[in-house]
Amino acid sequence: PVLVVDYGAQYAQLIARRVREAQVYSEVVPHDISVEEIKHRNPAAVVLSGGPSSVYADGAPQVDPALFSAGVPVFGICYGFQAMISALGGAVEHTGTREYGRTELEISGDGGTLHAEMPGHHPVWMSHGDSVSKAPEGFEVTASTKDTPVAAFESVERQLAGVQYHPEVVHSPHGQEVLRRFLHDIAKVRPQWTTSSIVDDTVAAIREQIGDRRAICALSGGVDSAVAAALVQRAIGDQLTCVFVDHGLLRAGERAQVERDFVAATGVRLVTIDAVDRFLGELAGVTDPEEKRKIIGREFIRVFEQAARDLQAEAGEAGEQIDFLVQGTLYPDVVESGGGSGAANIKSHHNVGGLPDDLQFELVEPLRALFKDEVRRVGLELGLPETIVHRQPFPGPGLGIRIIGEVTADRLETLRAADAIAREELTAAGLDRDIWQCPVVLLADVRSVGVQGDGRTYGHPVVLRPVSSEDAMTADWTRLPYDVLERISTRITNEVSEVNRVTLDVTSKPPGTIEWE
């Protein structure tokens, strides 16, 4: 792999993704990794990421100069670039000036390998205090900026290079090309990480792990469990059984999407558990959001557990114990829970965490090395429908936490109808990729007066909650075009008899969360 050394900025994962966009497999490793360990991993190259520190700060993470004579190609970015310069004998100065944001890069000479034939001046994204004033002996300086005499350096012969700016962000329009040139032209790494190679390698690894034994997988209707299941199905066919729990809190068409479209695309063996009455029974009379969430989570595990036991019993009679549970854990979860390798750091999937001890499964996590965009590409490669592959986030507790008040079958029907209209119109307007998600919330205990036709109505409001976000940690309300809002509003009030008012939530997160409960 290419190892991306994380100096504690938020950029390491992004760099790792960009390396993969250059079709080279990458992993994030912590900055305290030793040169010995790095050599042991036999990396094709090492990328030193940016970080918040000054190289002169007390306790600033240093780069062991031994790395540069280890015979491994190294690319330094921002802090990594400065740490590299100072370890190689160049000069980093505490200038007191800060360069932050969009800056003009000036290419020197022919631009070397990294910047050849690029516009002589072009924008890059900067974020640093200290500046490199002198490159180490034997290196070519290929770019500068107004405040930084040395903004890029390289030695093709020694396979070492670096840039002061952040090539990984979109505000550096030539950044991806620079990274690609380092990987392909300086480090001479062959671009082999393609979607089809991911599929082939993962399928082979799953076969190796599971052999002729059996596995189960809980499908949620979401992207991750669907792609994980599809990969395992491709690897072991009918040795996999998928379980889909219909808790009655799904949106219109979602059960059909799994039962019909997903099965048609994959040929997976699927058991659907119809648990609608059970969930509604448990939710009767409950209005507190946390209590709803607890009940839904608890019942989900109970139902899945029972299904697993039943399947286990069936398989057991045939002498075919089920040994494996498939989970859709993604690479960012693995990195964030501190693991790179090693099974100790597994963060269990939200939907099926906490299975009891007498149901002991070995985990199969086919997406453990993948970022979300790679998961989607793998899904498409496996022939999964767009509706599943590009599905927007939808909470595990489903519509249960979008009805403010008690959850009943009638209210679910009302909300489902309103939600379907909003989704249809957003899709028709081509807005699905622009918004993160758009919950529709039913204020079931609120009524207001309206007029429809000649009659007075006394119906419920729904709230549209369109949000834009990168990661759901923060979000802004999306400025939807008025004509789209108008179509949604007109259709909902005409077509959903219980609803006589459509309102728009214009709160960012924070202070509001995305969901209302």
Binding site, annotated residues: 220-226
Distance (Å, whole) CA 477 – CA 239: 45
List 31, 115, 166, 174, catalytic entry:
166
Q: Residue 114 or residue 514: which is nearer to ligand XMP going by CB?
A: 514
The answer to the question of residue 400 lying near ligand XMP (CB under 6 A) is no
The answer to the question of residue 515 lying near ligand XMP (CB under 6 A) is yes
CB atoms within 10 A of CB 492: 24
Binding residue (CB under 6 A) for ligand XMP from 111, 366, 395, 400: 395
Q: Residue 197 or residue 513: which is nearer to ligand XMP going by CB?
A: 513
Q: Residue 65 or residue 332: which is nearer to ligand XMP going by CB?
A: 332
The answer to the question of residue 221 lying near ligand XMP (CB under 6 A) is no
Contacts of 210 (CB under 8 A, 6+ apart): 232, 235, 236, 239, 323, 324, 364
Cis peptide upstream of residue 123 (ω within 30 degrees of 0) = no
CB atoms within 10 A of CB 276: 17
Per the annotation, the verdict on 282 as an active-site residue is: no
Q: Residue 148 or residue 437: which is nearer to ligand XMP going by CB?
A: 437
Distance (Å, whole) CA 516 – CA 401: 7
The answer to the question of residue 281 lying near ligand XMP (CB under 6 A) is no
Per the annotation, the verdict on 217 as an active-site residue is: no
8 Å CB contact between 496 and 460: no
The answer to the question of residue 513 lying near ligand XMP (CB under 6 A) is yes
The answer to the question of residue 393 lying near ligand XMP (CB under 6 A) is yes
Binding track over 8-47 against ligand XMP, x by CB under 6 A = ----------------------------------------
In the complex, the smallest distance separating the C-beta of residue 464 from ligand XMP, rounded to whole angstroms, is 14
The answer to the question of residue 82 lying near ligand XMP (CB under 6 A) is no
Per the annotation, the verdict on 166 as an active-site residue is: yes
Q: Distances from the Cα of 37 to the Cαs of 40, 43, 113, 226, 511, in angstroms?
A: 5, 10, 29, 36, 44
The answer to the question of residue 437 lying near ligand XMP (CB under 6 A) is yes
Burial state string for 123-141 with b = 16 or more CB within 10 A and e = fewer than 16:
bbbbbbbbbbeebbeebbb
The answer to the question of residue 90 lying near ligand XMP (CB under 6 A) is no
Q: Residue 150 or residue 422: which is nearer to ligand XMP going by CB?
A: 422
In the complex, the smallest distance separating the C-beta of residue 472 from ligand XMP, rounded to whole angstroms, is 4
Distance (Å, whole) CA 32 – CA 61: 8
In the complex, the smallest distance separating the C-beta of residue 477 from ligand XMP, rounded to whole angstroms, is 12
Residue type, position 107, single letter: I
Which alpha helices (H) appear in 74-217, and where do they start and end?
A: 79-88, 112-115, 175-181, 195-210
The answer to the question of residue 397 lying near ligand XMP (CB under 6 A) is yes
In the complex, the smallest distance separating the C-beta of residue 89 from ligand XMP, rounded to whole angstroms, is 48
Binding track over 338-377 against ligand XMP, x by CB under 6 A = ------------x---------------------------
Distance (Å, whole) CA 387 – CA 64: 49
Contacts of 478 (CB under 8 A, 6+ apart): 434, 435, 436, 438, 466, 467, 468
The answer to the question of residue 472 lying near ligand XMP (CB under 6 A) is yes
8 Å CB contact between 108 and 141: yes
Angle at 198 between CA 193 and CA 203, to 5 degrees: 155
Catalytic positions are: 78, 166, 168
Contacts with ligand XMP by CB under 6 A lie at 350, 393, 395-397, 437, 472, 509, 513-515
